[in-house]
Amino acid sequence: MKKVYDFTALSNKGKEVNFADYKGKVLLIVNTASKCGFTPQYDGLEALYQKYKDQGLVVIGFPCDQFGHQEPGTDEQIEEFCRLNHGVTFPLMSKIEVNGENAHPIYNWLKSQAGFAGFNPEHNLTKILDEMFSKADPDYASKPDIKWNFTKFLISREGDVVCRFEPTTEPQDMEKSIEKELAK
């Protein structure tokens, strides 16, 4: 049975990151974009990272340009945007694809471990997203593909996917789940 520790990815500086280096940490892996309606979630993700990093939380951003061309920049431009506009200090990886034949292996694994969790019915964008996806594929909710930017995966200290949070789940709404994993 694979674990997150079986994967590597390039950092936004072009260095290979071995996820085995995160053994014993709780990870929050997120596909990100700088020009998205959900981009303000960078602030909440950074707040979670600052609050819990000393307890073992690592937030890891994977920029992705597959949704509405909302991450057109280079790795350097993305990092600068995140740092200047949202104070991001958590690790950012090199831009990847999360769906399709060129999807990064870590995302193929993440999707195989936790399928689509459903949009938050109370979020103001849920109706719009549901209509948009239903038109393209009436069966979209049964497929594990990443639906949009800022889909989040919580990984246990043992390297297993605990749960998946869709873009309509705000970072602060994940706090109890994160605390539960950190307490283990």
List of long-range contacts for 101-106, beta carbons under 8 Å, 24+ apart: 104/9, 104/62, 105/7, 106/4, 106/7, 106/9, 106/19, 106/29, 106/62
pLDDT digits (tens, 9 = 90+) for 152-175: 999 999 999 999 999 999 999 999
Q: For each of the domains in the chain, give its residue range(s) and CATH number, in order of start.
A: 4-182 (3.40.30.10)
Q: Which residues are catalytic?
A: 36
pTM of the complete model: 0.97
Dump pLDDT digits (tens) for 43-90. Answer: 999 999 999 999 999 999 999 999 999 999 999 999 999 999 999 999
